[in-house]
Amino acid sequence: MRLTEALQFFPGIGKKSAERIAFYILSNPQDGKKIAESVEEVLSKIKFCNICGNITVEDPCSICSSHERNRTTICVVEKPMDVFAIERAGIYDGLYHVLGGLISPLDNRGPDEIRIEPLILRAKKEDLNEIIIATNPTTEGEATALYLQESLKEFNIKISRIAQGIPVGTDLDFADDITLLRAMEGRREFKD
């Protein structure tokens, strides 16, 4: 059945789950139609913002065109989902830049394959005070951060990296050595 095969494209959906969803759609055609229409709408209307690379209905996106946000700070992330995560937390009011991937030579992805050049152009053109590199603290994320730091250092802009350390609500004794080291390196003084 084509539907069960197609459903298995989704992450985390195996053959059994795909069959269950397919039978649910067959027995609830209205829900199936809603899903199909939503998918079609998303695919026809959603595009990438020409400035930041985030997904959007209108180009430029609502964040890039907003004048209420801090337009002197750019937060660099790997993928659109990271923008959603930071926006959900409501802790940042600057602009974004979505790289669309990380440098990973083992996956045939070098600096030219991700949106680093558009970021350098933004650093040249826009009046920026700070660029926050918020790629994941993985080997590829760190390598990308190092590359960005090197590429952006010629501009008179503060380049910062998001802090790394112990996640809230977890135990120190479960933390690995590297996380503990980064947490110690990034410790901060109590302020009055």
Partner 1 sequence: MIKRKDALILKSYNYSNSSKIIHILTEDSERISLIAKGARRTNSRFGGNIEPLNLSEIVYYIKRDRDMGILKEAMVKEPYLFIKDDLYKMNIAWGLLWIAKRIPDPQDGLFGLENRSLTFLNRGFKEEVLIYFMLSLFHLSGVPPKLNKCVKCGSKEVLFFDVTSGGAVCEACKLGTSFRLNNLLNLLNDLKKGRLREWKEITDSERRKVIRMVFEYGLYHLGEWLNRLSDILPFEIMPKER
Among 147, 152, 157, 161, interactor with partner 1 by CB under 8 A = 147
What's the CA gap between 67 and 22, in Å, rounded? 45
Task: Name the one range near partner 1 by CB under 8 A: 1-9, 69-77, 87-95, 134-142.
Answer: 134-142
Q: Does 181 bind partner 1 (CB under 8 A)?
A: yes
Helix and strand counts by DSSP (H, E) for the chain:
8, 6
Task: Name the one range near partner 1 by CB under 8 A: 21-29, 63-71, 124-132, 169-177.
Answer: 169-177
What's the CA gap between 144 and 110, in Å, rounded? 9
Cis peptide before 118 (omega within 30 of 0): no
Q: How far is the CB of 178 from partner 1 (least distance, A)?
A: 4
């350098």: which residue's tokens? Answer: 120
Among 50, 146, 158, 186, interactor with partner 1 by CB under 8 A = 146
Number of residues that bind partner 1 (CB under 8 A): 24
Q: Which token pair is 190?
A: 């109590």
- Please, which residues have CB within 8 angstroms of residue 77's CB and are 6 or more apart in sequence? 83, 86, 96, 97, 98, 99, 134, 135
Q: Does 178 bind partner 1 (CB under 8 A)?
A: yes
Q: Does 174 bind partner 1 (CB under 8 A)?
A: yes
Nearer to partner 1, 19 or 113 (CB): 113
Q: Which token pair is 128?
A: 């920026």
Contact of 150 with 178, CB cutoff 8 Å: no
Q: Does 177 bind partner 1 (CB under 8 A)?
A: yes
Q: How far is the CB of 33 from partner 1 (least distance, A)?
A: 26
* Binding stretches for partner 1 (CB under 8 A): 11-12, 105-106, 108, 137-140, 142-143, 146-147, 150, 167, 169-170, 174-179, 181
